[in-house]
Amino acid sequence: MTEEYNPKQYLPTIDAILSVADLEKITVKKIRNALQELFGINLQPHKQDISDIIMERYFDLLEKRKNKVEPPPLSKEDIERQDALMASQLLKSTIRGPVTRGSGKATPRKPRAKKNAAGEKKRKAPNNGFNQALYLSQDLQNLFGVESLPRPQIVKQMWTYIKDNNLQNPNDRRQILCNDTLYKIFKKKTVGIFEMNKLLTSHIFKPDEIGDTKSVGELQAKPPPPPSSKPNGKKSADYVDEEDDDDDDDQELGDPDEDDSEESDEDAD
């Protein structure tokens, strides 16, 4: 991996990945690994910077979808890179799941979705806990005006608040300038986009964390998790992030639970 670090060069590819990815499943680490493969560069020395950039593009995409802003057309080079990424994913899926001859078993058909009285198909809600309502700390309740929200709505409403109050640093849009309200939540005058997403987990509670003795209206933020410790040892020259034990950026974008991901990086590439 010899190419020089050039974050502006990666933006179209990051946008292309996010535009076709399931935003409920994609992670910062998976996007970073894809960039390493496509551009032939070791991004580990620039891990924090590129992670912040990915989160910034993620939030920008949410904002554009909310306002229905069409993304600019991709250049020929960007399309070729996107096609290369798709081809790589298809190749890996073919290698992992080859079709065997003589199995004698037909692929089972999925049952058709039932239609309601109006003739519309019923969409089955995904059973992955992603849309589960989570209880908010008192500070978040004061900000959003509700006691509970699904994690995607927490992120979206926080981002809407930041945009509406012009709290992005004009010189570095990845930095959030905390007003008095956000300072109560993050305990900092400035916070990075990626860091903000992690700090929010201290203000979010699953139903089984509440118990019968706590009042939902009086929930206080949990202590932030301790920083992950890195094992000693040398990395190979061609570093791949799957070897990294720091899984903070391997959460699904907006996933409240760091350890509940059921699919490994290898299976999710």
pLDDT tens, residue by residue, 187-196: 999 998 778 8
Residue 249 CB-density burial (10 A; 0-12 exposed, 13-18 middle, 19+ buried) = buried
The span from the CA of 27 to the CA of 55, in Å, is 10
Closest CA to 28 of 262, 258, 248: 248
Does pLDDT of 233 surpass 90? no
Amino acid at 207: P
What does the pLDDT read at residue 245?
45
**What is the rounded average pLDDT of the residues 42-58?**
87
The span from the CA of 203 to the CA of 209, in Å, is 12
| H-run or E-run covering 46 | none
What does the pLDDT read at residue 156?
82
**Cβ distance 29 to 37 under 8 Å?**
no
What does the pLDDT read at residue 98?
46
Does pLDDT of 257 surpass 90? no
**Cβ distance 12 to 74 under 8 Å?**
yes
Q: Delimit the domains of the chain by residue range.
A: 7-95, 130-224
**Cβ distance 60 to 11 under 8 Å?**
no
**What is the rounded average pLDDT of the residues 213-239?**
51
What does the pLDDT read at residue 28?
87
CATH for 130-224, options being 2.60.40.420, 1.20.1250.20, 1.10.245.10, 3.100.10.10: 1.10.245.10
